[in-house]
Amino acid sequence: MGNSVDHNSTEGIQEALQNNDREKIQQYMNLEKKSPLNIAVTGECGSGKSTFVNAFRGIQHGEEGAAPTGVVATTSEVTPYLHPNYPNVTLWDLPGIGTTKFPADKYLNLVPFERFDFFIIISAIRFRENDVMLAKKITKMGKKFYFVRSKIDFDLKNQERSQREFNAERTLSEIRKACIQGLQSASVVSPQVFLVSSFDLHLYDFALLLNTLERELPEHKRDVLKLVMPNISHEVINKKKEAFYKKIKYWAMLSATVAAVPVPGLSIAVDVVMLIGVVTQYVLGFCLDILSLKKLSARTNVPYNDLTAVIISDLAATEITADLLLKVIGRFAGTAALMAAEEGSRFIPILGIPLAMSFSFVSTNKILKIILNMLAEDAHKVLNKVMESNTSV
């Protein structure tokens, strides 16, 4: 198909811009909303797979769309769970290996491993023979896997009760060392083990796991992962901002290509629609939409009104409409003049269209940078509020 896009987004965007191909530019700009990311979460029964799936998606047990959790085996089929804000991202809760329905020797034939981008192998105690067998099979398929030792918070509490001179860092080091030695004795080469609590993602190794996944994913899926990362730290928020920021110039160039069409009023009308879409992506990515904030409130026990009270931008925690967006843009110094200059320049002979394109690029670039900075700052403020209210964070 002539309008299909490959996944080498940087080169593809540059070529589309050189050819002034608005449709293909738009396809590239929306690539991370459509590029699928399939994450497999597997391990033995009771290891905490479903709880991890829910935590990664920012969903609590019992909420609509949550993976069922419990003390008995709750996953009997390969079950997909879409990310609430990015439906192109799916976490797959795989049945426990070694069950009657999914015996270890037939597991690979019963589970469609080829569809997954990478695998999270979870264990709540120690990694067993089935986990090692799975890791070796995944390696032969040329795919990545990551060992996650779950329920670390329970381990620390149990150790604290039983030890007179308890030291959390020493205990964590001992758990990690025991897991690595166990895997090495089973012939797993250079195993990486991440210690995680699905109830407290901000603690222990979850941030390190995210950094590792980000580093090892292909380029076109790296930004997809950044946008769905839970806001567990200021570093994550800054990474999301960086992912959004590097695309602003391309949105501005897309705006300029529209400005090249000699129809009065068309550029501004198209720009407003485009800006609504881009700003909505910012709001969802920073988890500043109403639903995400309410889920955060329920998860952290910080009142919803307390979270929204620290938000400065009028574009967060609300429905973004054309009227609201134009009202907000109107407050930015010099922006209205640039937009007016773009329309006025169309009537200048010969130089009119190039001038209109230039004004359109500058105004869109400026608008998106200001809005992105505002929303990123709001995301930091919300995280600070949660940290203040939950001293353990």
Is the pLDDT confidence value at 352 over 60?
no
Verdict on whether the full-model pTM lies above 0.95:
no
Going from the C-alpha of 261 to that of each of 121, 245, 258, 354, the distances in angstroms are 53, 26, 6, 11
Pick from 129-138, 258-267, 268-277 the range whose average pLDDT is largest.
129-138
φ/ψ (deg, to 5) at 142: 75, 25
Q: Using alpha carbons only, what angle is made at residue 49 by residues 67 and 389, rounded to the nearest 5 degrees? A: 75
Is the pLDDT confidence value at 359 over 50?
yes
| Angle (deg, nearest 10), helices 248-259 and 22-29 | 160
**Identity of the amino acid at 261:** V
Instruction: Evaluate whether 112 touches 78 at the Cβ level (below 8 Å).
Output: yes
DSSP code for 102: S
- pLDDT at position 310 is 97
- pLDDT at position 29 is 60
Higher-confidence position of 370 and 107 = 370
- pLDDT at position 372 is 98
- pLDDT at position 148 is 97
Is the pLDDT confidence value at 263 over 80?
no
- pLDDT at position 6 is 47
Of 117, 204, 218, nearest in space to 169 by CA: 204
Of 18-32, 173-187, 324-338, the least confident: 18-32
Of 255-264, 293-302, 368-377, the least confident: 255-264
The mean pLDDT of 210-214, rounded to a whole number, is: 95
The mean pLDDT of 327-332, rounded to a whole number, is: 89
Encoding tokens for residue 264? 């009065």
Higher-confidence position of 105 and 302 = 302
Q: Where are the domains of the chain?
A: 36-229, 238-389
Please tell me the CATH code under which domain 36-229 is placed: 3.40.50.300
- pLDDT at position 4 is 47
Confidence bin at 273 (pLDDT 50/70/90)? confident
Confidence bin at 261 (pLDDT 50/70/90)? low
Higher-confidence position of 310 and 63 = 310
Task: State the Cα torsion 275-276-279-280 to the nearest 10°.
Answer: -150
Rg (CA), the chain: 24
For 161, counting Cβ atoms within 10 Å of its Cβ (0-12 exposed, 13-18 middle, 19+ buried), the class is exposed
Is the pLDDT confidence value at 151 over 90?
yes
- pLDDT at position 262 is 52
Is the pLDDT confidence value at 182 over 80?
yes
Higher-confidence position of 20 and 189 = 189
Query: Could you give the CA distance from residue 221 to residue 363 in angstroms, rounded to a whole number?
Result: 29
* Per-residue pLDDT tens digits for 93-131: 988 777 777 777 777 777 888 899 999 999 998 898 888
Of 178, 185, 146, nearest in space to 159 by CA: 178
- pLDDT at position 2 is 43
Of 48-52, 106-110, 327-331, the least confident: 106-110
Is the pLDDT confidence value at 31 over 90?
no
Is the pLDDT confidence value at 269 over 90?
no
